[in-house]
Amino acid sequence: MLYKIVYTLAAATALCVVCVRSQAQNCQNNFVLSLYQCLSNRSIDRENFLWVTRNGTLGREPADLQSFTSRVCIEKMGLQMCVKTALDNAIALADDQCSQPQKTSLTSLFKGIFKNLEAKCRDPCRASFASELAKCYTDKMFNGEDYLLFNVSSKRDAILGRNSSEVERFCQERSSIMQCLKTSALNCNDATFMLRSFGLDFQALNDTYNVLCNYTEGNNHTCDVLCNHTDSINNKYNVLCNYTEVYMDQASCFSEQTQLFRTCRDAASNRVASIEIALSDFNITDAKFSDDICNLRFNQIQCEATAARQLNDTSKCPRVVLGLRKQQECMLVPYDCRIKTPSRLATACKMADFLIPDRENYKPNSAHALTQAQTQIVLLIVCIISRLYNI
């Protein structure tokens, strides 16, 4: 009787081991079957796919490798999401259905396949995209990092220049610069991804340039005296007539208080690196990456506002100057981010915080007062000459 009991237990134990192995094997098989189904749904030959993504060690080489790779790249995002769902389902299983080593193996397989595919689909222009955009500025003799906004943590302290002559010239050239930027983007298939990772939107950038260069809110009375608004010469020099002193002091404030605001930039830079790694490891989706970049832009605006309050030195950074800075940063937020997160836009970018009415009677800091007076004199001379010679 005892013998029968022991035999029965041994048989049951052996059967359980076989069941566990079978279940574990099934979790791997189910993942592979899901991969094949995702490929089949997109009419992608699985043997060709394995050859491309496993560097020729598995599967069969496509008859037309370039054409096949191009088509797979078009389907990459949808395919990746489909297979990632199968992986997530496997990882969610209990360990007796799919062991931890097997889950790790499936994760490695998934990452290996799609990292190889990412490398094959990545346009080589990614490596030179930022430098190509930078040429649009340097070719017009606008040098220095102040103009270059190709990073979420860029300084943005003097995006039009650091003195009146630079600002004037930049505003005259801004249309050709924007056209150059757009042309460069058209020549790079991955421009959309790159611009998103920069936190840069050309339409928002263009609108920001236009607003800063052509301010019409609360016209400066001195400008009214110097040049009538109907004069063509005023259109050329309108940047000098509309709150230039506020802009100049804003550039000075954020440049001189480098350490104070660097914390915000460092935090943004570290966060960008973190989410880029998460994206490359497929730990977040492309959509989540975009959302994180948007949140990062709003976080940075609020971080700067907090840092300015901590500074609490109106002689170095007057409130009206900080208001212009906040308006500039809010205008630079990509339109896609504004649409996705209107609540964050409403919180971080309150119109009242821009202090636009206060710019009317703003008195520039002493460091720039002489420069502003000289500018007004030059502008007066230009206006007089233009009228004398009917320019």
Confidence (pLDDT) at 5 = 32
Environment class of 101 (CB within 10 Å of its CB; exposed 0-12, middle 13-18, buried 19+): exposed
Q: What is the dihedral of CA 20, 24, 25, 27, to 10 degrees?
A: 140
- Give the Cα separation of 308 and 317 in Å (integer): 8
pLDDT at 183: 97
- What pLDDT, in 10s, does the model give residues 203-258? 999 999 998 887 533 344 333 333 333 333 333 333 334 577 888 888 888 877 66
Output the pLDDT for position 223: 37
Whole-number pLDDT of residue 308: 85
Integer Cα distance of 139 and 383 in angstroms: 30
Say what the pLDDT of residue 23 is.
54
Q: What is the pLDDT of residue 379?
A: 47
pLDDT attached to residue 181: 96
| pTM of the full structure | 0.76
Cα–Cα distances in angstroms (integers) from residue 64 to residues 48, 67, 277, 354, in the given order: 10, 6, 33, 58
Q: Provide the CA 128 distance to its chain's centre, in angstroms.
A: 17
Cα maximum dimension of the chain: 124
| Confidence at residue 162, expressed as pLDDT on a 0 to 100 scale | 85
- The DSSP letter of residue 341 is -
Distance separating alpha carbons of residues 335 and 143, to the nearest angstrom = 27
pLDDT tens, position by position, 14-72 = 323 333 445 556 888 889 999 999 999 999 999 999 999 988 899 999 999 999 999 99
Q: Tell me how far apart the alpha carbons of residues 18 and 24 are, in angstroms, rounded to a whole number.
A: 10
Low-confidence ranges of the chain (pLDDT < 50): 1-21, 216-241, 366-373, 375, 377-386
